[in-house]
Amino acid sequence: MKNEIIFVIEDSLDGGYEARAIGYSIFTEGDTLEELKKNIVESVNCHFEADEKPPIIRLHYIKEETIAA
């Protein structure tokens, strides 16, 4: 069992947020950060058996911005 699972979170082009797990085929989305966090926990619970589930979920936010020069 791994100690943690890491999710990369980005703004969705359609609004809201998208999350993907590094090293696992787990993807989810949410309109708000609170909804996204809830969906991440549910996705991890569905993906792993209880005795294989990592006890820590780490979130890595990526925010891209552009500014005029």
Q: Per-residue DSSP letters for 39-51?
A: HHHHHHHHHS-TT
Question: What's the mean pLDDT when you consider all of the chain?
Answer: 95
The answer as to whether 67 is a domain residue is no
The CATH number for 20's domain is 3.30.2390
The answer as to whether 14 is a domain residue is yes
Supply the pLDDT for residue 1: 63
pTM (two decimals): 0.89
At 6-39, the pLDDT tens digits run 999 999 999 999 999 999 999 999 999 999 999 9
| 17-33 CB burial, b ≥16 within 10 A, e <16 | bbbebeebebebbbeee
The answer as to whether 69 is a domain residue is no
Total number of domains constituting the chain: 1
Q: How far apart are CA 12 and CA 2, in angstroms?
A: 28
Contact 7, 62 (CB under 8 A): no
Structural domain boundaries enclosing 24: 4-62
DSSP label of 67: -
The answer as to whether 16 is a domain residue is yes
